[in-house]
Amino acid sequence: MPATKEEVAAFMAAEFPQSKCVVEAVGDDGATVSHHIGPGELRPGGTVSGPVLMGVADVALYVAILGKIGIVPLAVTTSLTINFLRKPSADAHIIADCKLMKVGRTLAVGEVSLYSKGSSEPVAHVVGTYSIPPKRDSQDFPAS
Amino acid sequence: MPATKEEVAAFMAAEFPQSKCVVEAVGDDGATVSHHIGPGELRPGGTVSGPVLMGVADVALYVAILGKIGIVPLAVTTSLTINFLRKPSADAHIIADCKLMKVGRTLAVGEVSLYSKGSSEPVAHVVGTYSIPPKRDSQDFPAS
Amino acid sequence: MPATKEEVAAFMAAEFPQSKCVVEAVGDDGATVSHHIGPGELRPGGTVSGPVLMGVADVALYVAILGKIGIVPLAVTTSLTINFLRKPSADAHIIADCKLMKVGRTLAVGEVSLYSKGSSEPVAHVVGTYSIPPKRDSQDFPAS
Amino acid sequence: MPATKEEVAAFMAAEFPQSKCVVEAVGDDGATVSHHIGPGELRPGGTVSGPVLMGVADVALYVAILGKIGIVPLAVTTSLTINFLRKPSADAHIIADCKLMKVGRTLAVGEVSLYSKGSSEPVAHVVGTYSIPPKRDSQDFPAS
């Protein structure tokens, strides 16, 4: 049973309060998140740090999986491949568009294109895999 | 200076005569190739061998790069990441759709979705990188 | 229950008769296979084809997993990342040394260094993941 | 001309003052860095955030390259593949051991094994590629 954008956003806010990612859209086979770049996330030369890009892509993939199969707090990243393509802008949000390629019983695979907001050419591309726990019962969230 | 589908196909036939890949389309930022599966390329259980899929993806990426920057015989694969998503059909051609994400001065990066012909769900996904030789003068090919 | 080098070699010979890989060693957390390069596996310039290297690495990883957990015919590759490092020799065997990094309940991850026999510098490096079927009962093999 | 551990550490401190990584060792073909885990780097369940691990691996690879070819401030990561293997300890430093596999004219490739300090089993494994700027003149650093 899929989760709505609001359900996923509420889960992310409760479980990952330190994340600065905003859930922009959750679709049938994908999701979009945005991330405001702060000064601490820049590297010399005014570019966005690579680990920040990886982290945003990881969240986009997680959000897309939650949207597809429901709130599964124990899903964990098993692998991630990133290719850095262009220098991100220092003063634009990072937008991450995730497209799920497979959501199986135990593994989900998706790709994420990362953009500096306002540009149509990706700054990085990620393929990532999540392991899904055996029992995939959607949990009551938030617990009350 | 880009190369046409016919120029790329002629180059591939001359340089890689053992390749069974057929150049189906060459576009501005991508290419499509197909590959007829023979009995020697199947694995137990009637599935297409993983290395065959990797090889077809590699050709699709090479063809897309040639289409974009012209006939550059010395471009070589530097890295390739493949995710296997679904069991390919034993009796359908493999179709590889490559989309270039970046073609820089020394590196080209593209992604390839692989399908069993007739199915819309990918059997595998590849991200690959080619190193492009410093001088990118399109060569006269075939030499005459 | 682990499998010996002889058990793994017998399984590979029966199930993958078309494979030219020779099982050289099976250890506690790794394996070594070799592969004789034939003329059909060379590319222009006298180098070994990339898909051949990927295939040998894939076999080395499979052999290492079989050695570790016993004969599990249904283990399948889920992902593989290869970096091409140096031009392989056209007239030397390819040697693939696999080291397992994790063998979990459902996933196994290993890395493989590939060499031209006689050289100590790797021609390529692979990280690959296998999915292991839920029930891991060692099968009676060969069935009799 | 290689750089010493002290030279690399001084460069990192000056250029990446926000990095918490400590340069532990710089060798001929590799390097070791450590990273103290703070509360902001933990995820629910008490595990270290994936992007933190990626970031530490990226630094280890950069440090190893600087140690090998000298202070090259413009080297940039072009790709990185991480496999998460085990849950890191929440209260141990992360140790990253990088081994360079190739340092070519324009590309360097290395692998990094990440550990929770005190444990011999890796929590993650990374393969990464850096692009090296055409001119590789070691710069006078620190500038004086």
Q: What pLDDT, on a 0 to 100 scale, did the predictor assign at position A135?
A: 60
Angstrom CA distances, B123 to B32, C86, C134, stand at 15, 30, 22
Q: What pLDDT, on a 0 to 100 scale, did the predictor assign at position D135?
A: 61
| ipTM for the assembly | 0.89
Q: Does B77 touch chain D (CB under 8 A)?
A: no
What pTM was computed for the model?
0.91
For chain D, which chains pass the contact test of at least 3 CB pairs under 8 Å? A, B, C
CB contact under 8 A, D83 and C125: no
Is pLDDT above 60 for A141? no
How far does the CA of residue C66 sit from the closest CA of chain D (Å)? 19
* Better-predicted residue by pLDDT, D30 or A44: D30
How far does the CA of residue B92 sit from the closest CA of chain D (Å)? 32
Residues C110/C61, Cβ–Cβ less than 8 Å: yes
pLDDT 10s digits, B13-45: 988 887 889 999 999 999 999 999 877 777 767
Q: Which positions 123-142 of C are in contact with A (Cβ < 8 Å)?
A: 129, 131
Out of A49-58, B43-52, D106-115, pick the least confident.
Answer: B43-52
Closest listed residue to residue B110, CA positions, set B69, B71, B57, B70? B57
Average pLDDT over residues A32-55: 83
By CA distance, what is B79's nearest residue in A? A83
Q: What pLDDT, on a 0 to 100 scale, did the predictor assign at position B82?
A: 97
Q: What pLDDT, on a 0 to 100 scale, did the predictor assign at position A16?
A: 82
* Better-predicted residue by pLDDT, B49 or D121: D121
Q: Which domain covers residue A89, as residue numbers?
A: 5-140
pLDDT 10s digits, A8-22: 999 999 888 878 899
By CA distance, what is C50's nearest residue in B? B55
pLDDT 10s digits, D42-71: 776 677 888 899 999 999 999 999 999 999
How far does the CA of residue D84 sit from the closest CA of chain C (Å)? 9
Average pLDDT over residues C66-93: 92
Closest listed residue to residue D75, CA positions, set D41, D51, D110, D49? D110
Q: What pLDDT, on a 0 to 100 scale, did the predictor assign at position D19?
A: 84
Helix (H, G, I), strand (E, B) or coil at D104: coil
Average pLDDT, chain A: 88
CATH number at residue C78: 3.10.129.10
In total, how many domains does chain C have?
A: 1
Average pLDDT, chain D: 88
Q: What pLDDT, on a 0 to 100 scale, did the predictor assign at position C115?
A: 97
Residues of B within 8 A of D83 (CB-CB) are: none
Q: What pLDDT, on a 0 to 100 scale, did the predictor assign at position B44?
A: 66
